[in-house]
Structure 1
Amino acid sequence: MDLLFVADPLETFKTYKDSTFAMMREAARRGHRLHACEPADLVWLRGGRVVARQARTLVLTGDVGGAGGAGGAGGVGDSPAWFEVIATAELALADVDAVLMRKDPPFDSEYFYATHLLQQAEREGAKVFNKPSALRDHPEKLAILEFPQFIPPTLVTRSAAAVRAFHAEHGDIILKPLDGMGGMGIFRVGADGLNLGAIIETLNQDGAQTLMVQRYLPAITQGDKRILVIGGEPVPFCLARIPQGGEVRGNLAAGGKGVAQPLSERDFAIAHAIGPTLAARGLLLVGLDVIGDSLTEINVTSPTCFQEITDQTGFDVAARFVDALTAGLST
């Protein structure tokens, strides 16, 4: 098969932990051909099709290095150690077997526009994973609202008064922006309400920005669990991202420690209830964030933690993903 990965610059990959790299490595092991581009390379012109203007055809060298390597402009022979570019050419998305949208968050305007180009490519015959319309329909903070039976007390609002009332009711709360990633912009306010006004002003921008508020979950000390759901079925191990030091955030990007562990009965119940619904909408890969028994986020743009789970448990997450991708292409 020919696979096109739409992703961040390959030169920036931290190959020792990057999940897109794990997908590429497993696909290459099975003999599939790899191509890569960035969202900025996507072009459509009337009378033509959506193309990747500077698609790079890759072979993996087996030298995973560390943080990806220095690299250069990306021409033939000008690559980090872990891959070699053997060709650079315009490539119509409908001419490959699968397009994998793996651009990291944030889901900003440019990401939004890229999903529209990818959807046009679908009209032209391309198969895109995750499905572009589903990426737009499932913002990672707000997608949980569809499943209130699994989430903690939660408020979504622009109103400072509503936030203050929520704090008065629950005492210990978490506030976060809707477009954050990696734990960015997350605040905890305890029962004393210290700095609540300043935090609301920072996130709310005088009523201009919507924010999410949730009751603080003490189980965060045992980790913010990333549960991967592939083709509607949960991987049997999750990665508990445990806050370190005085942090309230377990995100690896915020210094959290990742510890793989088997899914609990509650984890399985949440994943089995949500997974098939999301898979039917074209979400081949989903990352559920669960603290204790509560679902806090549904990640669909570029879920991670493949390598951490595989390295600690021996369960080959990338193999499960490529199996599901192959099955999805046959339907």
Structure 2
Amino acid sequence: MSSLRVAVQMDPLATINVAGDSTFALMLSAQARGHALWYYDVGSLAWQSSTDGGRLTAWAAPVTVQRPQAAGESHFTLGEFANLDLVTDLDVVLMRQDPPFDLGYITGAHLLEKLKGKTLVVNDPEQVRNAPEKVFVLDYPQFMPPTLVARRIEDVRAFQKRMVAEGFGGDLVIKPLHGNGGKAVFRVPASGDNLGALVEVFGQMWKEPYMVQPFLPDVAKGDKRIVLVDGEVAGAINRRPGEGEFRSNLAVGGSAEATGLTEREAEICRVLGPELKARGLVFVGIDVIGGHWLTEINVTSPTGIVAIDRFNGTDTGAMIWAAIEARHQAMVTA
């Protein structure tokens, strides 16, 4: 295995939670495999025309990461920032900044797409752009709970009546179509008392439609995060809501526990796996409620590998890097 030159496009290094951050774990794993790392913010990407078609750079610094051994010890060491040519100076770019999946995110993906065939970008930026979490999942309605994507309150009220008629009850969950981390996810009671106000807020905050689904009581048993690496299951954790919450995301107080896959979940992975691999989506986290209902396919900046490895004794970071190394080798020998 030859050493790779890897740049990580991510949120500020100083702000991450090293105890559970998947990007930090991937960086540690890369170092352990002998790869050299650089760090940059997506806002520093710059493209300019040139005689050979264009040049994409980032204001980046070489970085080493380490787990702090004492209070106050830093988890990273940066070298000097300089313009990094993302073709001539690199082999791999990890696109790991968190959503929101807004025009800035989409533009960054467009710019990174210019590297196709020259520098490997993981996950593939074209496919990340085409597969936002709560939109890509709509391609698999056979695995989803009943779902509405709309903006009109009349459509939501009609959907609520349909859910009652179909035995799901009248409680709904409303969430932004391009949200993340369990933020701005609301439960609407069957009475619909707060529905009008919520629709007003969503209409003022976001131009896009929002997603509406029946509230699934099985969420109390957990919301499972399953990680797939190049289309293959790497492991899973079950996330349970904290006290007084129905959201199970770890970012909003949920707790993780060890788990396996149900037959239904294994079927979902078998169906999704080949498509994820074909799209160049190397690291993906899918969410399944109650062992049955697929709710999201996370491709922008998936998380969960630290908890999975802690419970299962696995090394998901090494699996991801093995897949990246194989893809890079295939690209340079094509």
- Find 1:13's aligned residue among 12, 16, 21: 16
- Find 1:99's aligned residue among 80, 93, 98: 93
In the alignment, residue 148 of structure 1 is paired with which amino acid?
A: P
> Partners in 2 of 1:256 and 1:59 — Cα distance?
31
Q: Secondary structure at the match of 2:182?
A: coil
Deviation at 1:60, TM superposition (A): 2.8
Specify the alignment match of 1:277 in structure 2.
275
Structure 1, gaps ≥5 residues long = 70-79
RMSD: 1.8
Specify the alignment match of 2:123 in structure 1.
130
Question: Could you tell me whether the CA contact under 8 Å between 2:87 and 2:115 is conserved in 1?
Answer: yes
Q: What is the CA deviation profile of residues 223-277 of structure 1, one whole-angstrom value per residue up to 9, with x for unaligned ones?
A: 1111111101011x31211111221111111111111312222211111111210
> Partners in 2 of 1:205 and 1:61 — Cα distance?
43
In the alignment, residue 282 of structure 1 is paired with which amino acid?
A: G
Question: Could you tell me whether the CA contact under 8 Å between 2:18 and 2:67 is conserved in 1?
Answer: no
Assess, with a 3 A threshold, how the Cα gap between structure 1 residues 105 and 312 changes in structure 2: closer, same or farther.
Answer: same
Deviation at 1:209, TM superposition (A): 4.0
Q: TM-score, normalised by structure 1?
A: 0.91
Deviation at 1:65, TM superposition (A): 6.4
Deviation at 1:88, TM superposition (A): 2.7
> Partners in 2 of 1:3 and 1:15 — Cα distance?
19
> Partners in 2 of 1:313 and 1:16 — Cα distance?
16
In the alignment, residue 63 of structure 1 is paired with which amino acid?
A: P
Structure 2, gaps ≥5 residues long = 164-169
> Partners in 2 of 1:212 and 1:175 — Cα distance?
6
> Partners in 2 of 1:174 and 1:215 — Cα distance?
6
Assess, with a 3 A threshold, how the Cα gap between structure 1 residues 65 and 267 changes in structure 2: closer, same or farther.
Answer: farther
Assess, with a 3 A threshold, how the Cα gap between structure 1 residues 238 and 90 changes in structure 2: closer, same or farther.
Answer: same
Specify the alignment match of 1:113 in structure 2.
107
- Find 1:82's aligned residue among 75, 81, 87: 75
Specify the alignment match of 2:321 in structure 1.
322
Question: Could you tell me whether the CA contact under 8 Å between 2:226 and 2:233 is conserved in 1?
Answer: yes
- Find 2:264's aligned residue among 259, 263, 266: 266
Specify the alignment match of 1:43 in structure 2.
46
- Find 1:63's aligned residue among 56, 61, 68: 68
Assess, with a 3 A threshold, how the Cα gap between structure 1 residues 87 and 304 changes in structure 2: closer, same or farther.
Answer: same
> Partners in 2 of 1:136 and 1:259 — Cα distance?
31
Q: What is the CA deviation profile of residues 9-36 of structure 1, one whole-angstrom value per residue up to 9, with x for unaligned ones?
A: 1111211111011111111011111111
> Partners in 2 of 1:196 and 1:224 — Cα distance?
24
Deviation at 1:86, TM superposition (A): 3.2
Question: Could you tell me whether the CA contact under 8 Å between 1:15 and 1:65 is conserved in 2?
Answer: no
1:181-260 paired onto structure 2 within 5 Å: 181-205=180-204, 208-235=207-234, 237-260=235-258
Question: Could you tell me whether the CA contact under 8 Å between 1:176 and 1:187 is conserved in 2?
Answer: yes
Deviation at 1:179, TM superposition (A): 2.0
Q: Is 1:22 aligned to residue 36 of structure 2?
A: no
Q: TM-score, normalised by structure 2?
A: 0.90
> Partners in 2 of 1:13 and 1:110 — Cα distance?
21
- Identity between Structure 1 and Structure 2 (%): 43
Specify the alignment match of 1:151 in structure 2.
144
Assess, with a 3 A threshold, how the Cα gap between structure 1 residues 17 and 244 changes in structure 2: closer, same or farther.
Answer: same
Question: Could you tell me whether the CA contact under 8 Å between 2:61 and 2:79 is conserved in 1?
Answer: yes
In the alignment, residue 281 of structure 1 is paired with which amino acid?
A: R
Deviation at 1:278, TM superposition (A): 1.7
Deviation at 1:289, TM superposition (A): 0.8
Assess, with a 3 A threshold, how the Cα gap between structure 1 residues 208 and 63 changes in structure 2: closer, same or farther.
Answer: closer
In the alignment, residue 134 of structure 1 is paired with which amino acid?
A: Q
In the alignment, residue 49 of structure 1 is paired with which amino acid?
A: R
Specify the alignment match of 2:310 in structure 1.
311
